[in-house]
Amino acid sequence: MVSVELVKNSSGPARGAAAITPGTPFASTCRAIYVGGDGAVVATMEDGTDITFAAAKAGSVLPIRATQVVSSGTTASNLVALF
């Protein structure tokens, strides 16, 4: 059986947002990251692995469950975590 909390947090529009400071862990796992300015985004995924999204375009949304954006290697700007 799928928990109600998992369903509530896995689909539908975001219920909150916060500006991202690379290198600072999020208060909780995000459901997506909005990219305000072109560049690379290095994210720590929910499972603990770091992955680089090279050449992310301004205005795009990365539909990922991440716990932070890593400062080293991240060149994109104006990032927003969606919760």
28-64 pLDDT, tens per residue? Answer: 999 999 999 999 999 999 999 999 999 999 999 999 9
H/E stretch holding 56: strand 50-56
Instruction: Give the count of beta carbons closer than 10 Å to the beta carbon of residue 42.
Output: 20
Summarize the confidence of residues 61-81 as an average pLDDT.
98
Quote the pLDDT of residue 2.
Answer: 41
Q: What is the pLDDT of residue 12?
A: 86
The contacts of residue 38 (CB under 8 Å, 6+ apart) are: 55, 56, 57, 58, 76
What's the token pair of residue 21? 């400071």
pLDDT of residue 9: 54
Using DSSP, state whether 7 is helix, strand or coil.
Answer: helix
Confidence of residue 4 (pLDDT cuts 50, 70, 90): very low
